[in-house]
Amino acid sequence: MGAIRILTIAVTIVVVAVPEGLPLAVTLTLAYSMKKMMRDKALVRRLSSCETMGSATTICSDKTGTLTLNKMTVVEAYFAGTKLDPCDDVSQMSDSAASLIIEGIAQNTTGTVFLPEDGGAAELTGSPTEKAILSWGLKIGMDFDDVRTKSSVIHVFPFNSEKKRGAVAVQLDDGVHIHWKGAAEIVLSSCKSWLSVDGSVQSMSAEKHDEFKRSIEDMGANSLRCVAFAYCSFDIEKIPMEDITSWELPEDDLTLLGIIGIKDPCRPGVRDAVRLCTTAGVKVRMVTGDNIETAKAIALECGILDANSVISEPVVIEGKVFREMSESARGEAADKIIVMGRSSPNDKLLLVQALKRKGHVVAVTGDGTNDAPALHEADIGLSMGISGTEVAKESSDIIILDDDFTSVVKVVRWGRSVYANIQKFIQFQLTVNVAALVINVVAAVSSGDVPLNAVELLWVNLIMDTLGALALATEPPTDNLMKRNPVGRREPLVTNIMWRNLFVQALYQVAILLIFDFDGVRILRLQNESRSDAEKITNTFIFNTFVFCQIFNEFNARKPEEKNVFKGVTKNHLFMGIIGITTVFQILIIQFLGKFFKIVRLGWRLWLVSVAIGLVSWPLAYVGKFIPVPVRPLPDYFKPRCCWKPPRRDEEEGGQS
């Protein structure tokens, strides 16, 4: 029997020492958050990404459709050297000039126009940019079907995200026209002439080139996306028919037809969302294919750039400049970059890699197939549910169902909640483990017996692992989560604040319960009882008090850093329900399950003392939070001094959640 008793005590101590409830708590909080995030328009594809998003230090966001509404409208036009009202037709221009412009709009597009027979509004298909251009074409008198029947497409150079332009060669009765369309400054650089109002072709002088360039810059400064149209005539007889499929369309000697400015308004609430990210220590970076002036203007409008700060390279940089840097130079520039314009998908990938090498936890938004490498490389890939391709969605961790940047910020909030809830449970569980372990070990060494037997500790483990995990894992996110810095990669899961709270509560529980274990008969005035009965009453009292210490300490675990641990507690109905269920079951165990637990019933006086001792943990937790904690993580004090590095950023007390 002695050997069995020793083995039972050993197993009991081991069960208490191992925090086996942590995987359950992590899974519960991830699953709960994933379900709640669906309401905030975020579909989680990889469960672990919920927690990772809470540690994000930077978000590399697309502009179009994410920061903006992706509802594009032509609001400015500059054709034949003349600024036009977008709502007017091109009647002031010659027929030849107008027909060339309309031909370029109708033929060099991936969109279509359908006119209902009942005379209703035209139905447009294609990308938002294509639809905006086609809609403007209809306003200036374009008959889409008629234009396309008058000429036939013989070769297409699809829009290329690297070259930022696309072209089409069309056969007409009098020859071949090659129409180019794309990023205004890139198309302009290939133009050697421009089309005037009377339809004549004028040489592109340096002064006229600068005039067009200023127009592009002015449009960009007004947050307009600039698209240019150009064309050239070509003698198709120079190209053998069998070589048409591999024909490289001429792109160097073009005639500029005109430039349009497309407005894509910022999404409502984006500015507030960016401000919230900044407060939370998460830097938002815009990575877009638009020209640098447009990108800068939108970034200022969204609050990503501060109008009062210095806006120069590398804060605002072109993708080509970043791409041509050496790896070490890219690493130095990456931290400073806020806006990257005229970027290709490969530039986005290079930026993500550079930021990760600098120690950032990087989240990336993307919607195109070409964004897949960057989405896969990032710590958290966020694809767009509406405009995103299937390839982008497959490469991402989370799908933003409404394509809205404000939903990305909600994901960050929930991610931080996941991390914070895991920390709350760890603090709660470690407090129980340390207290129970020390009490049983000290009692076993001193008297050869333990006040908390195996069955009692199984019940405590049930409170701690299952019910405790469920209660703390379902804590909803609070506003305070977005007022602290992100955790980052290398910071410890158990913070100094948690160690302080743990030691304060565990020390109190160990001290008070060991006092009752050693001198409980006298303190509880049980001298008139037989030795066996007095011992049973004392052990039952210790067990009951220990459980109530955990019940009251569960409130403390809700708010590891805040002095008011009751804030919002009544709104968490599951937490209150679990506390109520635990209390009811504890009463039933003490009063009616004595034989199974090897305990006895307690009188009302001992019940009051048990509850009072547990209740002390509340004021104790309040007072304990006045104890300052160092910034340096506790485990680092046990390492050589040379191994510790100061934190990367200023932190509040304790440094993290």
Residues assigned a catalytic role:
62
Start-to-end Cα distance in the chain: 49
The DSSP output letter for 467 is I
Number of helical H runs and strand E runs in the chain: 24, 19
Beta strands at 191-195 and 254-263: parallel, antiparallel or unpaired:
parallel
Name 84's bridge partners: 77
Q: Which residues contact 25 (CB under 8 A, 6 or more apart)?
A: 421, 422, 425, 426, 429, 465, 468, 469, 472, 473
Query: What HEC string does 166-203 produce?
Result: EEEEEEECCEEEEEEEEEHHHHHHCEEEEECCCCCEEE
The DSSP output letter for 265 is P
Q: How many CB atoms lie within 10 A of CB 566?
A: 11
Across the beta sheet with 58-61, the strand order is: 42-44, 398-400, 380-384, 362-366, 58-61, 283-287, 339-341, 316-318
Question: Tokens for 182?
Answer: 């794309």
Among the listed residues 154, 107, 151, 64, the one whose alpha carbon sits nearest the alpha carbon of residue 257: 107
Question: Tokens for 368?
Answer: 């195109």
Q: Which long-range contacts (CB under 8 A, 24 or more apart) does 585-592 make?
A: 586/544, 586/547, 586/548, 586/551, 589/459, 590/540, 590/544
Give the DSSP H or E segment for 158: strand 152-160
Q: Which residues contact 10 (CB under 8 A, 6 or more apart)?
A: none
Residues 540 and 532: their CA atoms lie apart, in Å, by 12
Residues 476 and 33: their CA atoms lie apart, in Å, by 9
Distance of CA 539 to the CA centre of its chain: 50
